[in-house]
């Protein structure tokens, strides 16, 4: 491995930054990786299609299960490209063959559903360790690598892409052409829509796979950088060589500089002696001893010091009264926000009248709040003034007020007909019938310009008085 | 010849007979029959919407049987061309000149069956006829003989292969009549009548007598226009339409043509009810049929499943009716 030929800058970084680096690499190499994915997947797709003909669900399951086979060539390509060795066309069959290596067997069997697949793949393909060592190595590398999260995120991206494609097809097929049945696309494996859905899923897999593999590879590199100090090694390797003129001098001085002192060189301790020496050092009173040292330091002006202390206290912990004020302020703001929210929801539930209608509603006369005697006096006054039209209008409004008191709620939009209908349906016959007569007379007077006779109004008035539970005095 | 309005009593008798006869041919569709008569009297076009088999075509056929005018029916299909509706110019070899061959639209009552099955250009061919009462063929404007009424039908559930009517075309229809399935009792009566002593399932309109000629119909229509309309009723109608326009959740509301249509329909309704004046009840009664196809609900209301009829039901309760 020639670390100095790395095309990416290696440094210890958190897992998410490593994944980001992987995504950046995938973006840079996407056309080549995508084509490589299809080079492996397409033949397999056709073979499985021939084997599982008319069973689209089996076909899809088999293709999904064999995903590590298509990902292996991608990893090999990326591992070479990272060290600035773009594989030639001649190397492609070898890389495609990598998908069939027996090393991948764990990923196709018991490790297929492992969430760390992205990290296991470089370990299997690039390191080639025996099984026991591989297991220990995986434990070391996987710690804090977020490879499980990577699998989860990529799985969701695949699902979103697949659903998006399916929905896009569903929505964009013009009316008149045979469309896609979404239910069948998800459930009915015999339907053509299911095949389309499967093809969409395969396409989504092909689009996400380069990102998944590169991100896994970047995680792998990041962990090795962190554990093995690749970045330091790389820094040393990339350090500029010493100037040529200095080399002969260094060569001459080397024995002097590097050679150990003669005494030590002669008495290079044997392991037993070294152990004894170590024990001696450990036992010596100076090793691990603590000492108390007393010294004098300059002290600032006490006044200045107290001010500084106060400032430090102020910035560190606010006074209790301020904390209380802030707390109550926040509670008040929260309560106001809650009230605004409730009000908005309430308005949402009961749509307001448009401004034009509201204005008219506000302008509309409210039922008179006068007592029955007032109504009667008013009606009689209008009759005396020879205005039976106005009198029947007043009687109608008084009747509405009375209906309201009887518990018949009449909305502002209730016309004469709807008032009569409601009164007949909900109130006793002795109320409904006279009210219908009053409403009819009012309609003729108001809209037909046909005023009732004074006698008719008197008759209706006496009916109305009976509603009130009073006897007719006249 | 200047026409005179039909006297109120005579108009009411004629309309009553008409309603009864059509009611015998089409059972269980009282509301739809009433609204169809409103369209006839108000001289407006109507769009009938209902699931297949509820009697939309029969309803119009029965009306056509009662009105002694020229009746034509066009089955709208995806390959129907505008010239199949309006007519076209053909070269007359004998006279060595082009001759106008008039299409089925030159009639008094036109049944446009399944109008939303034809593409937009064919639907648009009817716009000029419906609004201006004339048809232009080869640059020549040909007037349609009054009365000219279009009764179109459409099916609300089959959307595949259909072309929804554009808003401009919908606005030309005075009313959109919702033809609902009949009640159990009415359906039983219809089944009994249709299967007793009758071969096949052809539409039977023999119960409908030819009651109105075109001249009487026009006098009837004139009568409706002379009914008294109080200012308060006019204000109420306009307030309702304006409220529908500004109602929360409505994307596109009705225009002033809807106010005009509402008052026309209310007058016709009042005449059918036997009154010589219009009341707020007439306006309220005709509001759904006049506005339901002129409202385009916003996505929010659509998602909540609010229909135009439900919205209008709420609106009519909230807009104040005249009480002073």
The interface predicted TM-score (ipTM) is 0.80
State the Cα–Cα distance between residues B182 and A210, nearest whole angstrom.
62
**Which residue's structure tokens are 């209906």?**
A403
Q: Is residue A347 part of a domain?
A: no
CA B258 to chain centre: 14
Q: Do the chains contact at B279 and A443, CB–CB below 8 Å?
A: yes
Q: Is residue A406 part of a domain?
A: yes
Average pLDDT over every residue of A358-382: 59
The residue among A194, A213, A236 that closes a domain is: A236
**pLDDT at position A317, please?**
62
| Cβ atoms of B47 and B175 closer than 8 Å | yes
The residue among A236, A265, A287 that closes a domain is: A236
Q: Which of A156, A162, A213 is nearest to A32 (CA)?
A: A213
Average pLDDT over every residue of A33-40: 88
Task: Name the DSSP class of A123.
Answer: I
Under the banding of pLDDT at 50, 70 and 90, the label for residue A121 is confident
Q: Do the chains contact at B232 and A446, CB–CB below 8 Å?
A: yes
Average pLDDT over every residue of B14-36: 87
Q: Which of A111, A49, A397, A118 is nearest to B321 (CA)?
A: A397
Q: Are residues A232 and A380 in the same domain?
A: no
The structural domain count of chain A equals 2
Q: Do the chains contact at B246 and A356, CB–CB below 8 Å?
A: yes
Radius of gyration of chain B (CA): 20
State the Cα–Cα distance between residues B37 and B156, nearest whole angstrom.
22
Average pLDDT over every residue of B157-174: 81
Under the banding of pLDDT at 50, 70 and 90, the label for residue A90 is low
* CB-closest option in B161, B281, B318 to A415: B281
The torsion angles phi and psi of A76, rounded to 5 degrees, stand at -60, -45
Quote the percentage of chain B above a pLDDT of 90: 28
pLDDT at A363 over 50: no
Contact residues on chain A for B280, CB-CB shorter than 8 A: 415-416, 447
DSSP-derived pairing of the beta strands B140-143 and B134-137: antiparallel
Search chain A and give the residue with CA nearest B244: A354
CATH fold, domain B227-324, is Helicase, Ruva Protein; domain 3 (1.10.8)
Task: Name the DSSP class of B228.
Answer: B
Beta bridge partners of B150: B110
CA B180 to chain centre: 16
Q: 3-state SS string over A189-232?
A: CCCHHHHHHHHHHHHHHHHHHHHHHHHHHHHHHHHHHHHHCHHH
Distance between B238 CA and the closest CA of chain A, angstroms: 10
Residue B322 near chain A (CB below 8 Å): yes
pLDDT tens, position by position, B33-73: 999 999 999 999 999 998 888 888 888 888 888 888 888 89
**pLDDT at position A262, please?**
47
Under the banding of pLDDT at 50, 70 and 90, the label for residue A449 is confident
Pairs across A and B, CB distance < 8 A: 104
The torsion angles phi and psi of B75, rounded to 5 degrees, stand at -90, 110
Residue B231 near chain A (CB below 8 Å): no
**pLDDT at position A55, please?**
79
State the Cα–Cα distance between residues B234 and B224, nearest whole angstrom.
15
Quote the percentage of chain A above a pLDDT of 90: 9
Q: Which domain holds residue A418?
A: 372-467
The residue among A188, A206, A236 that closes a domain is: A236
State the Cα–Cα distance between residues A16 and B258, nearest whole angstrom.
61
Range name among A113-122, A303-312, B58-67, B247-256 with the lowest pLDDT average: A303-312
Name the CATH superfamily, with its identifier, for domain B1-226: P-loop containing nucleotide triphosphate hydrolases (3.40.50.300)
Residues 6+ apart with CB under 8 A from B239: A356, A357, A360, B319, B320
Q: Do the chains contact at B233 and A393, CB–CB below 8 Å?
A: no
Contact residues on chain A for B239, CB-CB shorter than 8 A: 356-357, 360
Contact residues on chain A for B324, CB-CB shorter than 8 A: 364-365, 393, 397
**Which residue's structure tokens are 């095949």?**
A195
pLDDT tens, position by position, A294-309: 888 777 666 666 665 5
Range name among A370-379, A405-414, B293-302 with the lowest pLDDT average: A370-379
Q: Which of B82, B81, B100, B80 is nearest to B90 (CA)?
A: B100
CA A360 to chain centre: 47
Highest mean pLDDT among A57-66, B88-97, B104-113: B104-113
CA A212 to chain centre: 20
Q: Do the chains contact at A447 and B230, CB–CB below 8 Å?
A: yes
Range name among A26-30, A189-193, A232-236 with the lowest pLDDT average: A232-236
**pLDDT at position A306, please?**
61
Average pLDDT over every residue of A138-148: 77
Q: What is the mean pLDDT of chain A?
A: 77
pLDDT at A451 over 60: yes
Residues 6+ apart with CB under 8 A from A8: A21, A25, A82, A221
| CA distance readout (Å), A221 to A227, A238, A465 | 10, 18, 97
pLDDT at A40 over 60: yes
Search chain A and give the residue with CA nearest B284: A415
Under the banding of pLDDT at 50, 70 and 90, the label for residue A188 is confident
State the Cα–Cα distance between residues A157 and A154, nearest whole angstrom.
5
Q: Do the chains contact at B242 and A443, CB–CB below 8 Å?
A: no
Residues 6+ apart with CB under 8 A from A383: A391, A454, A457, A458
CATH code 3.40.50.300 region(s) in chain B = 1-226
CB within 8 Å of chain A, chain B residues 289-318: 314-318
Distance between B162 CA and the closest CA of chain A, angstroms: 8
| Cβ atoms of B137 and B100 closer than 8 Å | yes
């Amino acid at each position: 491995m020639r670390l100095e030929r790395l095309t990416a800058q290696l440094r210890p970084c958190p897992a998410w930054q490593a994944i980001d680096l992987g995504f950046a690499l995938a973006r840079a190499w996407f056309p080549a990786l995508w084509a490589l994915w299809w080079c492996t997947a397409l033949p397999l797709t056709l073979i499985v299609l021939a084997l599982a003909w008319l069973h689209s669900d089996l076909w899809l399951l088999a293709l999904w299960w064999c995903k590590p086979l298509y990902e292996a060539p991608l990893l090999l390509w990326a591992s070479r490209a990272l060290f600035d060795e773009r594989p030639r066309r001649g190397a492609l069959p070898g890389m495609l063959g990598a998908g069939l290596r027996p090393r991948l067997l764990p990923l196709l069997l018991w490790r297929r559903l492992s969430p760390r697949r992205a990290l296991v793949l470089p370990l299997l393909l690039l390191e080639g360790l025996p099984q026991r060592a591989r297991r220990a190595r995986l434990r070391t590398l996987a710690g804090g690598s977020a490879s499980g999260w990577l699998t989860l995120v990529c799985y969701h991206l695949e699902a979103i892409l697949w659903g998006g494609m399916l929905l896009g097809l569903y929505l964009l097929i013009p009316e008149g052409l045979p469309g896609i049945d979404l239910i069948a696309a998800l459930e009915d494996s015999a339907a053509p829509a299911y095949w389309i859905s499967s093809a969409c899923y395969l396409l989504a897999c092909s689009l996400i796979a380069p990102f998944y593999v590169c991100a896994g590879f970047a995680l792998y590199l990041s962990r090795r950088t962190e554990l093995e100090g690749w970045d330091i090694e790389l820094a040393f390797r990339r350090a500029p060589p010493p100037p040529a003129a200095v080399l002969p001098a260094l060569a001459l001085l080397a024995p002097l500089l590097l050679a150990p002192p003669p005494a030590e060189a002669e008495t290079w301790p044997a392991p037993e002696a070294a152990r004894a020496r170590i024990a001696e050092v450990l036992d010596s009173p100076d090793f691990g001893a603590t000492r108390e040292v007393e010294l004098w330091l300059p002290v600032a002006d006490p006044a200045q010091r107290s001010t500084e202390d106060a400032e430090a206290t102020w910035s560190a912990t606010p006074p209790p009264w301020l904390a209380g004020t802030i707390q109550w302020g926040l509670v008040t703001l929260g309560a106001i926000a809650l009230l605004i929210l409730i009000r908005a929801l309430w308005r949402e539930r009961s749509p307001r009248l448009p401004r034009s209608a509201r204005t008219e509603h506000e302008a509309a006369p409210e039922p008179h709040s006068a007592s029955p005697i007032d109504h009667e006096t008013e009606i009689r006054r209008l009759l005396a003034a020879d205005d039976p039209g106005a009198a029947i209008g007043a009687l109608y409004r008084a009747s509405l007020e009375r209906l309201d008191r009887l518990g018949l709620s009449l909305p502002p939009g209730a016309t004469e007909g709807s008032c009569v209908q409601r009164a007949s349906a909900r109130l006793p016959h002795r109320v409904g019938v006279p009210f219908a007569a009053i409403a009819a007379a009012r309609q003729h007077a108001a809209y037909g310009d046909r005023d009732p006779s004074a006698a008719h109004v008197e008759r209706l008035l006496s009916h109305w008085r009976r509603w009130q539970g009073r006897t007719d005095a006249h | 010849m200047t026409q005179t309005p039909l006297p109120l009593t005579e108009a009411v008798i004629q309309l009553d007979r008409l309603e009864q006869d059509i009611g015998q041919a089409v059972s269980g569709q009282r509301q739809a029959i009433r609204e169809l008569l409103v369209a006839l009297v108000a001289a407006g076009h109507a769009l009938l919407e209902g699931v297949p088999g509820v009697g939309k075509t029969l309803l119009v056929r029965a009306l056509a049987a009662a009105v002694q005018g020229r009746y034509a029916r066009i089955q709208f299909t995806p390959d129907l061309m505008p010239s199949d509706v309006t007519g076209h110019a053909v070269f007359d070899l004998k006279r060595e000149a082009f001759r106008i061959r008039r299409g089925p639209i030159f009639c008094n009552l036109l049944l446009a069956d399944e109008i939303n099955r034809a593409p937009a250009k064919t639907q648009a061919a009817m716009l000029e006829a419906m609004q201006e009462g004339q048809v232009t063929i080869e640059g020549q404007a040909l007037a349609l003989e009054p009365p000219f009424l279009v009764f179109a039908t459409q099916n609300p559930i089959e959307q595949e292969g259909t072309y929804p009517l554009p808003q401009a075309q919908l606005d030309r229809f005075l009313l959109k009549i919702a033809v609902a399935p009949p009640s159990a009792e009415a359906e039983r009566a219809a089944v009994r009548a249709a299967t007793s002593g009758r071969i096949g399932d052809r539409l039977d309109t023999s119960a409908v007598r030819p009651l109105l000629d075109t001249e009487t119909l026009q006098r009837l229509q004139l009568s409706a226009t002379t009914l008294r309309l109080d200012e308060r009723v006019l204000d109420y109608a306009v307030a309702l339409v304006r409220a529908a326009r500004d109602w929360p959740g409505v994307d596109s509301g009705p225009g002033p043509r809807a106010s005009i249509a509402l008052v026309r329909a209310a007058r016709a309704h009042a005449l059918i009810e036997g009154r010589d004046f219009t009341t707020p009840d007439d306006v309220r009664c005709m509001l759904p049929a006049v506005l339901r196809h002129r409202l385009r609900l916003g996505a929010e209301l659509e998602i909540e499943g609010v229909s135009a009829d439900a919205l209008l039901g709420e609106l009519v309760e909230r807009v104040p009716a005249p009480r002073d």
